Structure 1
Amino acid sequence: MQRKFDQLDDVWPAGLGRRLGAMLYDALLVLAIWLLITVLHVAFVRLILGLDAELVGQGAPQRLTLQLALLVGAFLFFAFSWMRGGMTLGMQAWRLRVQTRNGYSITLSQSLVRYLVAWLSLAAFGLGYLWVLFDSERRSWPDIASGTRIVVIPKASRR
Structure 2
Amino acid sequence: MPRRFHPEDERLPPASLVKRLLAMLYDGLICIAVLIVATWGYTLLAAWVVGFEEYKQMAEAGRINSDPLLTSFLFVVLFLFFGYFWTHTGQTLGMQVWRVRVENPDGTSIRWPQALLRFLMGWVSWLACGLGYLWMIWDGENRSWTDRFSESLVVQVPKPEKTQK
- Identify the range of structure 1 (119-128 vs 34-43) with the bigger mean alpha-carbon deviation: 34-43
Q: TM-score, normalised by structure 2?
A: 0.90
Q: TM-score, normalised by structure 1?
A: 0.93
CA shift at 1:100, angstroms?
0.6
Quick one: distance in 2 between partners of 1:79 and 1:52?
33
Aligned residue for 2:21?
Answer: 20
Secondary structure of the residue that 1:98 maps to in structure 2? strand
2:99 is matched with which residue: 84, 95, 98? 95
Secondary structure of the residue that 1:77 maps to in structure 2? helix
Q: 1:16 to 1:150 in 2, by over 3 A?
A: same
CA shift at 1:47, angstroms?
2.3
Quick one: distance in 1 between partners of 2:24 and 2:7?
24
Runs of 4+ in 1 over 4 A off after TM superposition: none
Counterparts in 2 of 1:50-129, with a 5 A limit?
Answer: 50=51, 51-56=54-59, 58=63, 63-129=67-133
Corresponding letter in the other structure for 1:85: T
- Determine which structure has more spread, i.e. the larger CA radius of gyration: 2
**Over aligned residues, Cα RMSD in angstroms?**
1.6
Contact kept? 2:7, 2:107, Cα under 8 Å: no
1:11-34 per-position Cα deviation (integer Å, ceiling 9, x unaligned)? 210111000000001101111110
Identity %: 39
Quick one: distance in 2 between partners of 1:155 and 1:33?
29
Quick one: distance in 1 between partners of 2:153 and 2:12?
11
CA shift at 1:94, angstroms?
0.4
Quick one: distance in 1 between partners of 2:160 and 2:13?
15
Quick one: distance in 1 between partners of 2:7 and 2:113?
25
Quick one: distance in 2 between partners of 1:99 and 1:52?
45
Tell me how many residue pairs correspond in the alignment.
Answer: 158
Aligned residue for 1:153?
Answer: 157
